[in-house]
């Protein structure tokens, strides 16, 4: 397409937008416009399916509700462009600059945004499901209500981003920067990530840290951690001492609790799916009705806890770990100590118990064969 042809097309499109005589909606399907200067271009509602616009400049362009399906915008400059409600499904935006761009309610599902710059971009309600955002810069971006289910955000920088009501189910956030990001309102079910203690709600963090003082001072300082029903999905609590804490019905799916001290802690009814308890001390812990599907309990201690008096002397009594009705389907129980544990009613489907210590443990009763109906004569 020659520059003159493009100019005429844009003039007719403006007339179409204003419902003037001679107006025709712009149709640039599969056009080759690589390296073009289209700053502030008015193509709202235009049809740009499959257009080649790599290395082009579209700063402050009006592309609201445009059809940009499978468009090639690699390394394009879209600074402060308005793409509100546009259809960018399957688009290639690798290395594109979308700083300050408006993408509210835009459809970006299965879009390649690797290394893209989206600093301060408005992505409210945008659909980014299964998109690739590896190493993307999303600092200060507004992702309120956005759909990022199944998205790949490995290595992305989300520092200062707003993710309220954001759907991050099954998203990969490994090595992502989440400084000053409040994840409390986001749906992180099945997300692959690690959230540091500094990144969680300040009130939750304070409660967890005060419990450390409570433990060390034997109750003289701080206070016992009671976070029943709290959301701590994917939070890294490795090495923390939460012995005796109450986390009943809390959600800790994907949380990291390796080498944590959790003796006599109460996790009854909690969601601990895919959580890591490698070499953690869960002696005497209450895990009744917990969801421990695919949890990693390698080398964890779930043996009965020895009851000691205030002076630290043994009373000769032991408190068994309670896993009654817990779901351990697919959990890793390699070298796990379960001696004396109560596993009645627990589901152990797809669990390898060959190296686990089950001495004196109360195991689930084998399923009884279904009774066959007696045929009537």
Instruction: Collapse the DSSP code of 11 into the 3-class scheme (helix H, G, I; strand E, B; otherwise coil) and give the result.
Output: helix
Residue 368: its pLDDT value, please? 53
Q: Is residue 347 part of a domain?
A: yes
Q: Is residue 94 part of a domain?
A: no
Q: What total number of domains does the chain contain?
A: 1
Of residues 94, 99, 88, 2, the one with CA closest to residue 59: 99
CA-to-CA distance for 108 and 133, rounded, in angstroms? 11
Q: Is residue 333 part of a domain?
A: yes
CATH of the domain at 257: 2.160.20
Determine the structural domain holding residue 298 and report its residue range.
196-367
DSSP 55: T
Q: Is residue 137 part of a domain?
A: no
Residue 375: its pLDDT value, please? 43
CA-to-CA distance for 51 and 1, rounded, in angstroms? 12
DSSP 198: G
For CA atoms 289, 290, 296, 302, give the dihedral sign: negative
The token duo for 275 is 């959580």
CA-to-CA distance for 276 and 89, rounded, in angstroms? 36
In this prediction, the residues of the chain whose per-residue pLDDT falls under 70 are 311-312, 367-377
Task: Give the side-chain half-sphere CA count within 13 A for 264.
Answer: 11
Q: Is residue 227 part of a domain?
A: yes
Q: Is residue 74 part of a domain?
A: no
CA-to-CA distance for 307 and 304, rounded, in angstroms? 9
Q: Is residue 322 part of a domain?
A: yes
Q: Is residue 249 part of a domain?
A: yes
């Amino acid at each position: 397409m020659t520059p003159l042809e493009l100019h005429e097309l844009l003039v007719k499109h403006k007339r179409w937008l204003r419902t003037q005589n001679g107006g025709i909606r712009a149709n640039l399907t599969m056009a080759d416009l690589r390296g073009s200067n289209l700053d502030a271009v008015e193509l709202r509602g235009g049809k740009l399916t499959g257009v080649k616009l790599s290395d082009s400049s579209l700063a402050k362009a009006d592309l609201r509700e445009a059809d940009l399906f499978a468009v090639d915008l690699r390394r394009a400059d879209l600074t402060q462009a308005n793409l509100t409600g546009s259809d960018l499904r399957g688009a290639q935006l690798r290395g594109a600059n979308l700083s300050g761009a408006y993408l509210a309610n835009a459809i970006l599902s299965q879009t390649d945004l690797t290394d893209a710059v989206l600093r301060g971009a408005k992505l409210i309600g945008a659909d980014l499901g299964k998109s690739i955002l590896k190493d993307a810069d999303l600092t200060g971006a507004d992702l309120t209500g956005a759909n990022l289910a199944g998205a790949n955000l490995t290595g992305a920088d989300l520092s200062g981003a707003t993710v309220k009501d954001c759907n991050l189910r099954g998203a990969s956030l490994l090595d992502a920067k989440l400084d000053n990001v409040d994840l409390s309102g986001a749906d992180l079910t099945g997300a692959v990530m690690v959230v540091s203690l500094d990144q969680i709600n300040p009130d939750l963090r304070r409660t967890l840290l005060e419990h450390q003082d409570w433990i060390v001072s034997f109750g003289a300082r701080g206070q016992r951690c009671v976070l029943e029903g709290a959301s701590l999905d994917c939070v890294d609590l490795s090495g923390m001492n939460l012995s005796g804490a109450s986390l009943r019905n809390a959600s800790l799916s994907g949380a990291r609790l390796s080498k944590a001290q959790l003796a006599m802690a109460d996790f009854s009814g909690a969601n601990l799916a895919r959580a890591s308890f490698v070499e953690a001390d869960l002696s005497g812990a209450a895990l009744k009705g917990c969801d421990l599907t695919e949890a990693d309990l390698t080398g964890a201690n779930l043996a009965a806890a020895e009851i000691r008096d205030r002076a630290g002397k043994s009373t000769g009594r032991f408190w068994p770990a309670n896993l009654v009705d817990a779901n351990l389907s697919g959990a890793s129980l390699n070298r796990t100590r379960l001696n004396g544990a109560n596993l009645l009613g627990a589901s152990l489907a797809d669990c390898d118990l060959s190296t686990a210590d089950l001495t004196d443990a109360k195991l689930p009763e084998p399923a009884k064969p279904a009774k066959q109906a007696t045929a009537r004569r």
